[in-house]
Structure 1
Amino acid sequence: MPAALALLTALLLAFPGSVPNAGPRLGSLLESFLPWLGLAVPVLLAAALLRRSALAVTAVLLPLAAWCAAFGHLLLPGPAPQPRELLVLQHNVSDENTDPVGTARAMAAAGPDLIGVQELLPEAVESYRRTLAPEYPHHAVSGTVALWSKHPLSDVAPLDIKPRDLTEPWNRGLRAVVTTPHGDVVAHVVHLPSMRVGAGGLTSQRRDESATLLGRAIAEEPLHTVILLGDLNGTTEDRGLAPLTDRLNVPERGFGFSFPVGLPVARIDQVMARTATVTDLRTLPATGSDHLPVTARILLP
């Protein structure tokens, strides 16, 4: 039995796309928590040792190898800072955050060039603006998402990623050109629709539709370098985000589990880039939000 379970675990780690996504979207559900399948390795090894089965012990090497191939690179130390780098910060600040000033101070203390936020309530905008203004004089707000920058912003516009079946006002996308010391880049700040896990499986249709719309906008973006900062309500392994991960580079280092804040089990707060490399991603200490802030270093071309 341990040998068979080890083989099954290795297959799921190596080929998660083989799990169908129709109906309850079990494929996306598996991919959302795929790194945690590695916890099966010590359990299977213990079972193999208890059985004193050389075959089972050998079989446990298969999921171990599959996990290392899929995620081992995330454990490696990041490269040394480079001259053409930007430090960016992504944070869903939460619409239930009772300490916007403290959250703004925590974000500014990390010293990023760009700060992308989601769930920004209209009544909290002034608190963030006033607190961030000394270091971040440039900012743009669109609906419940916003961008603060040390560098000038231009061509600011809403980004239409609204699912078709939503009729109420809904604006969770922002596009802006950032004039950095290394040239112009486009920043997209977004908040994709939430997913829900219930008895019927995973509900992600709206999220997937919004990701498709965002992917099209990125494909049509005339500037070469794009930086995406967003609460995507999904991990980079989730096939529902393929319209983005097929077009953008994802972090090369760091797991950066960001949600939920009490026991982070998934990174749904993402930093991605086109024609640039996301070299290192890490989480910061908790703020007044139910998400952890994440920072990433981006090496520009």
Structure 2
Amino acid sequence: MTATTELPVVPAGPRRWAGTWRRGRVIAAFAVLTALLLLAHPLVPNWPGNAGSLLETFLPWTGLLVLPLLAAALVRRSALALVVLLLPALAWGGMFGSRLFDRREPGGDLTIVSHNVNDENPDPAGTARALAASGAQVIALEELKRSEVPKYADALAAAYPYHEVEGTVGVWSSFPLRDTRPVAIMPWTRALQTTVDTPKGSVVVFVAHLPSVRVRLDAGFTANGRDAAMRLLADAVAAESAPRTVLVGDFNGTADDRALAPITGRLRAAQDVAGDGFGFSWPAGLPLARIDQIFVGGVRPVAAWTLPATGSDHLPVAATIAF
């Protein structure tokens, strides 16, 4: 008898593809959860440990969760997972896609720079000169060390003849300042309000440095002090009746964080409207979050961007507005 060799049976086309729709259900489930995390982040409770605020601080980075899921879907050859992965991809794109592009426009009437200069800055004069080189008409500084203020003042005096300092925050301007006063958001002064009289009209400028936040294993995201100061600052801004308002400073929070809602519900973040990219400002060496903000009301932001690093652990942020 002659021996015969049996060949393996290859499944028919439809049956072969059917397996790709059955595989990867766990990956697909994680993709759905990622999409829900993006779309329903306001529903994440702030207890325990201000978990919701912590998530929202780094919300744009949740898009990276798609990458390992995509790799797993390709390894598993799962058509189901690949299709479902469109959900978090589209959710992220709808929320943050526009920030990938440069939305700046030419023109504008006033450029403002805000910078947490760090009270341990090794080169205050060099930092001041770098900020002045931006060409801004108004420079707001936070975390000023009293003994270092004269160094900033001397370096900025030529281009910014008007300046006011309250506590650890200050404003330098090429236009006259008036009605400057501290804003009580903490037991010591870390916020001020002033009016800048420009040739195109006046604008009220608030400068603030909110309390620091930390992530601790025993307490979670320690942001309660910041949130309390935020509410006081929002009350001060709401009480201002001037038609044009600018609020700048180190908020130790992003515009996506629900804690900033008292501000973002009233003012617009210049970076979100007219920014170049995400504008992450901290930490300066590898920026992961934009906690330094320029908010505006009654004016139109036409450009927003970050400046090169100085001797601080924050990057300076800048915006140009049109009256």
5 Å-filtered alignment, 1:53-92, equals 53-82=78-107, 84-92=108-116
SS in 1 for 2:178: strand
**Using the alignment, how far apart are the partners of 1:69 and 1:21 within structure 2?**
24
Task: Deviation per CA, 1:22-41: give whole Å up to 9, x if none.
Answer: 23110000000000011112
Residue equivalent to 2:254:
235
Task: Deviation per CA, 1:267-297: give whole Å up to 9, x if none.
Answer: 1100001112334322211111111111112
**Using the alignment, how far apart are the partners of 1:13 and 1:297 within structure 2?**
30
SS in 1 for 2:93: helix
Letter in 1 for 2:129: R
TM normalised by structure 1 equals 0.94
Residue equivalent to 2:224:
205
Let me know the Cα RMSD of the aligned residues. Answer: 1.2
Which of 132, 138, 142 in structure 2 is aligned with 1:108? 132
Residue equivalent to 1:21:
46
- Count, aligned residues: 293
Letter in 1 for 2:300: T
- State whether structure 2 residue 215 is matched by structure 1 residue 190: no
Compared CA separation, residues 140 and 266, structure 1 to 2 (3 A):
same
Letter in 2 for 1:52: R
Residue equivalent to 1:268:
291
Structure 2: where are the runs of 5+ without partners?
Answer: 1-25
- State whether structure 2 residue 274 is matched by structure 1 residue 255: no
- State whether structure 2 residue 303 is matched by structure 1 residue 285: no
TM normalised by structure 2 equals 0.88
SS in 1 for 2:85: helix
Structure 1: where are the runs of 5+ without partners?
Answer: none
- State whether structure 2 residue 75 is matched by structure 1 residue 50: yes
Identity of aligned residues (%): 51
SS in 1 for 2:202: strand
1:77 Cα shift?
Answer: 2.1
Letter in 1 for 2:262: P
Is the CA contact (8 Å cut-off) linking 1:249 and 1:277 kept in structure 2?
A: no
SS in 1 for 2:150: helix
**Using the alignment, how far apart are the partners of 1:202 and 1:278 within structure 2?**
32
Q: Which has the larger radius of gyration?
A: 2
| Range with greater deviation from structure 2 (287-296 or 248-257) | 248-257
Task: Deviation per CA, 1:231-275: give whole Å up to 9, x if none.
Answer: 000000001111111111112123111111121111110000111
